[in-house]
Amino acid sequence: WTHASSLRSGESIFSSLAGNAALPPEGAGLQMTSKYGSGMGVLWDGYSGVHSADLVPELMAFGGAKQERLNKEIGDVRARIYRSHLNGTIFPNNS
């Protein structure tokens, strides 16, 4: 997929996922593309702020505390977006 090279070269904890050929499990998220090639996607509950194994505990604690505040302030449904991985593409060359 499109992020394979950055995952491999960036020494991310997700580098083993680079180049996967399987789709995510049903209900894991959604991907939409317009007939002109632009699109967006979401991977629910895939907190994407952590790519360095050294920072995982600290960033997950920060994200968890922020998530609790957001649940109270804007509700569980809207707050779920905060802890999800979002992506967007504007065809032909902007993602």
Q: How many CB atoms lie within 10 A of CB 31?
A: 13
- Amino acid residing at 60: M
> What is the tens place of the pLDDT at every residue in 6-45?
666 666 666 666 666 666 678 888 888 888 888 888 888 7
Res 9: pLDDT: 65
> What is the tens place of the pLDDT at every residue in 38-95?
888 888 877 666 667 787 788 888 888 998 999 999 999 899 888 888 888 887 776 5
Res 5: pLDDT: 66
Q: Which residue, among 19, 22, 25, 21, has the nearest Cα to 3 in the 3D structure? A: 19
Q: How many CB atoms lie within 10 A of CB 76?
A: 10
**18 bridge partner residues:** none
